Structure 1
Amino acid sequence: MTKPGVLYITYGYPWPLNSGMRLRDYHLIRAISSRFAVSLLSLMERPEEAQYLEALHPYCASVDAVLAERRSKTHRVVGLTGCVLRNRPVQTHMLGYPAMSAKVREIAEKQDVRIAQIEHSYMAHFAEALPPGHRCRTILDFQDVGFVQYRRMLGLRGSLVRKARYLLEWWSANRWEIRYAQQFDQCLAVSPDDAQALRRASPDLAVAVVDNGVDTDDLRPLPEAPGSRDLLFVGTMSYMPNIDAVLYFARCILPLIQRRIPGTRLVVVGKSPPESIRRLASRSDVVVTGSVP
């Protein structure tokens, strides 16, 4: 019996499994593939991601990718200004690639696509590339609810420039995120709190919670090392909430623990740590590894 088709659209290719976004995409694709023929289409951030395209073939009927092209500063400024003037989300320019839209249209026209699932609200505009009159159901997975995320990030420490950026992102998401979501048949949230925020903003929005988890068959706790007093923080270290969490922990929490348990260290593991995190490694009680295999 032929499986019905799902067009699964992601930002970044979901391999290697070194970020929360990729982990969620990968495990959802694995689960969906048991009942549906998955056509994966990824907007790749970097050319080197192409070396991993084979990794998802065991779970996908087809795998396609479009490389996000580099744009000049002038092109970005003109495009962003146009988005603001036309009341369109800033991300439709930042992530708006005609080649990606054309690929969405091509797959929908050539394959038996019953469902189109788009990961991340900033990619929602690619649903507009589905052929007119196409009858597939549409799903939008909010890996983050932007108007909630950026409102919270406004409270983080940072420069005025960074806060201005978060304010612009919040303003943009607050204006368009729900408007786009209302065009989808179903929305997914990763937590009850996110789902509640979406329902408050739009009571008629169809929202279900598909939360993140851990594969306890594959990932089991290691035996505790005798005498170990290391505390481990794992995360994408270019993500501002993670940066803020580590800096706060090292400054305010770690000393309290060390009063009770002398010799306790903080080990920070994750790719792309900024200078503020790397500077912590000058302390004898903090280790910063950067990216690990």
Structure 2
Amino acid sequence: MNLSATLATASPTPLGMEAAPPSAAAAGVSVRNVSQRYATRDGSDTVALSDVSLEVRKGEFIALVGASGCGKSTLLRIVCGLLRPTAGDVMLNGAAVREPRDDTAMVFQAPTLLPWATILDNVLFPLRMRGTLKPESAAYARALLKLVGLEGFEGKFPRELSGGMQQRAGICRGLIQDPDVLLMDEPFGALDALTREDMGMELLRIWSEQPKTVLFVTHSISEAVLLADRVVVMSPRPGRIAEILDIVLPRPRSLDQLGEPAAQAAIRRIREIIYADRKGHVQFVE
């Protein structure tokens, strides 16, 4: 699928124009000494994140990987402003993130669709909430739904779609906002393998033509290496940054690049870190 051909006439931003360098068009994120604790029923504390610091450059694509329960989703919720950290700060454009922002969108791990609204209305819902709905917004939403294989389902309700189809609609709802910062929590996990690959490549096309700062959580090491500028490997709970890898594959990326020595080396290194975590031999990034 070709995003430019699909959306060029419907997008509120001209996708056919030459894209500005990522650093000139999006917002960066600064995570400073963030920790998060949760109280349990027995009165003890569970530490989800411990002293996490991360500087994300403007327009950068960051992937976060690690074992289940290591705090990846918690970190995204903090960056989004949905959760206040126990300690530390998150800064966006020099301002502290205290609540959800209009220039930040999140695609959740599970569909969060309104059951009483059609799929088209669900995709358009963030624009209505922000008061930014335009006459061309519906056409753009329809083009996004066509991109993810939901053409013809615009008038359906979530209960009439499978779980995977609902998640595709959730991805569209994040993209319709054209955010500066896009937070994606395992967004392709419910998709079949071929559609997941297609969506990954189309996400990269969107990112190159409409530069955004992206934080992308995934359990797929190869997906992280293929998509990201850098891969942040997190330790098991309490979540800390074990290592940050620069991915040196040239852009634009293609699936064939996963067979290149640089990609295979990165995949091996990430696995080594995760296995070292399990054995307790990991050294953390300070």
Do both proteins adopt the same fold according to a TM-score greater than 0.5, normalized to the shorter chain? no
Bigger Cα Rg: 1
Q: Counting helix residues as a fraction of each chain, which structure ranks higher? A: 1
Higher relative contact order (CA 8 A, sep 6+): 2
Report the TM-score, using the length of structure 1 for normalisation. 0.28
